[in-house]
Structure 1
Amino acid sequence: ARIGKANARQQDKTDRLDAQIIARYGLEKGYRLSLWEPECELMAKLKQLHRRRKVLVRTRRSLQLSHQESKKFEDTQLPRSVEKKYQAILIDQKQLIDQIDNEITSLILNDPRKARLYRIARSVSGMGPKNTWSYCYVLTSSTRYRQLRLAAITLD
């Protein structure tokens, strides 16, 4: 039955109908549409580092919580050598996360526009470094925030 419906939809589909649908979409959403621009090399690097950082933070948190929970509910303790190795892994992950944070911050500060936006956002009370570069990343990468980005860049 589904194949029959899909075939019927395909037969109903014409270039004229496609053009009407695209035109209607343009009328309804035209105020939000903008030309596609490929992301710059800097944004690609920031996106990659942000993605890696997110995976590392999630993995570290999961490892830490499972270890804490197992210590609470298990009667036997791990041998001291295993416990030390566990802590060493957590410390290594934390250092790697910090290294990625530093790299992201330096990439932002080396770009004049993003550095200016970073300094403006950092001047707001309660905005720490990680929140600030996440804010800069969102403002400079998302077309949804185009007007906000333009307003933030032109601030004096």
Structure 2
Amino acid sequence: MMNDTENKMNFQENSAINIDRQKWMALLGGASIKDLETEKKRLDPDIDWNFIIKPEVGLLMVQSDADGSHPAFNLGEMSVTKCVLEVKGHYLGYAMILGSDLVHAELAALFDGLLQHPDYRDDLKENLIDTLAEKQLKKDRSLEKDVTNTTVEFFTLKRGE
């Protein structure tokens, strides 16, 4: 039976993993399929995993609110692909990605499950997640630069001036 100190340590470790998990799931969802397939080739081909929910495409209702003062309204539907699998008989890997790419959802779920496993976590963070984060940062900076270049400055004149 665990004492209070061990329980606190387990809770703190799980909390840190959950915060990291949010970040890596976002990166895996936005990653290119080429990067995920390349990393999968580097893994042991005998990794034990099973589908809980095979990759499937569905629709998600997107809601919007113009300025925050009115109730949200349905903007439209978008396609998403989800997948849930069990890795090493214990860790559940989950993915929901935009669009209808079954392979992308499967790979993202696999890596999510492996990143929860202590034997794979550090290696995958270093070789996959850090690389994806760097690529995302470059994309963000490029987009920011493009947006900055198109900034329009407005001014008004009083009548009669």
Higher strand proportion: 2
- TM-score using structure 1 length: 0.26
Structure number with bigger Rg: 1
Higher helix proportion: 1
- TM-score using structure 2 length: 0.26
